[in-house]
Amino acid sequence: MPRSRGPRLVPPLLLLLLLLLPEALSTAASQTSAKSKRPKEPGENKIKATNKRGKPTLAPGKDRDSVASVPKTSSIMMRVMEKGRFQKPASTLSLAAGQTLELRCKGNKIEWSYPEYLDTFKDSRLSVKQHDRYGQLILANATAADTGEYSCWLQVCTGYVCRKDDAKAGATYVLFTEKGELFVPSPSYFGVVYLNPDREAVVPCRVTVPSAKVTLHREFPAKEIQSNGSIVYDMKRGFVYLHPQPEHQGVVYCRAEAHGAPQISIKYQLLYVEVPSGPPSTTIVASSNRVNGGDDITVLCTVLGEPDVEVEFRWIYPGLKDERPVTIQDMWRLVSRGLGRTTRLSRSVLTLQDFETIDAGYYMCTAQNLRGQTTVATTVQFS
């Protein structure tokens, strides 16, 4: 019979390892837990700066083309201060009268814009020069009348064709304050403002003191005109009628007050206009269409148009090539046609004395305005 086996004895070394294993696992777990609870050093969770550049994130609905298409504009204008210092001028400057204003704009071909009357009267106080790398504008001994916008821009030329570079331009509106002059002085004592139903109208009472309080008044019946949304005040333009109406007609003036000192502007006549825009509406008539030799004749060319639109006349007549002596006189005046309508009556009169056979034929008048031209003709025969 086979010999029966008793229970196997575990070697002492293996038994010792089995007894120590749970304790070792427990110790390792406690060490791991202790490491996770270690107090953090200051700044440990902060994102550290790197030299890597990430791609810009575009807003929803935007693409790369729309971002790239936004034009970059930078003012090229600098104001020259005392002791040769330079400063970018603010959009609005307030300076005392009597000072010298010097502006510079970077570029080798700079164009300028400034208050129109400085050009109209060829004011010697104004100097505009082009240097190699910049354009320069100097206005000496400034007065309240010089208040307005001063701007510059770079001209880019290809051959004989030049264009304005809108991305390289600069502008500043300068108010020159002068004692006793709250309003920018006007060259006349009475102004006319035409009210057209299809565009804004401006009563140009501009001030020289930014803090001045300005109100608009009707002369008759005497009352203040309230700015109710259809009439707004712009310090750089004046009172703006956004939607002119026939009831806005009349004589008005502005009142300004600053530091307790009030001042009244010149008066403005507001005239409502209802004349269609377009080339001149022209007619022509001769004093007689059959003339005896030796008689005098007159030919009248007439245009009815917008009050503020000038008309120029040109004549062609039979004796022009032979330099026959004629007298041509142009004139115009405003005419009220009732119901609040005002038109400009422009006339050109051609007068010829001592009519001869060479003077018989067509007399042609061409009237031209900014919107086009119209030619009319009449015949004069030798009787």
DSSP string, 51-114: S--PPPPPPTT--HHHHHTSPP-EE-EEEE-GGG-EEPPPSEEEEETT--EEEEEESSSEEEE-
Average pLDDT over residues 336-343: 63
What are the beta bridge partners of residue 113? 151
Residue 28 has pLDDT above 70, yes or no: no
Of 300, 299, 283, 280, which Cα lies nearest the Cα of 291? 299
Reported confidence tier of residue 322, pLDDT bands at 50, 70, 90? confident
Residue 44 has pLDDT above 90, yes or no: no
Residue that wins the pLDDT comparison between 229 and 290: 290
CATH for 190-272 is: 2.60.40.10
At residue 231's C-alpha, the angle toward residues 340 and 118, to 5°, is: 90
Give pLDDT tens digits for 51-74: 444 444 444 444 444 444 444 557
Same fold, 77-177 and 281-382: yes
Average pLDDT over residues 148-161: 89
Contact in structure between 365 and 375 (CB atoms under 8 Å)? yes
Strand order in the sheet with 361-369: 290-291, 372-382, 361-369, 312-316
Please enumerate in sequence order all residues whose Cβ is within 8 A of that of 108, keeping only pairs 6 or more positions apart, or say none.
Answer: 130, 132, 133
Amino acid in the structure at residue 196? N
Tokens encoding 197: 């139903």
CATH for 281-382 is: 2.60.40.10
Range scoring the smallest mean pLDDT among 17-21, 207-211, 235-239, 317-321: 17-21
- Rounded distance between C-alpha atoms, residue 383 and residue 379, angstroms: 12
- Rounded distance between C-alpha atoms, residue 103 and residue 86, angstroms: 9
Q: CA gyration radius for the chain? A: 42
Rounded (to 5) percent helix, strand, coil in the chain: 10, 45, 45
- CATH 2.60.40.10, applies to 77-177: yes
Average pLDDT of the chain?
Answer: 81
Tokens encoding 236: 């750089």
Output the pLDDT for position 346: 93
pTM score of the predicted model = 0.59
- Each domain of the chain, given as residue ranges in start order, spans 77-177, 190-272, 281-382
Helix (H, G, I), strand (E, B) or coil at 329: strand
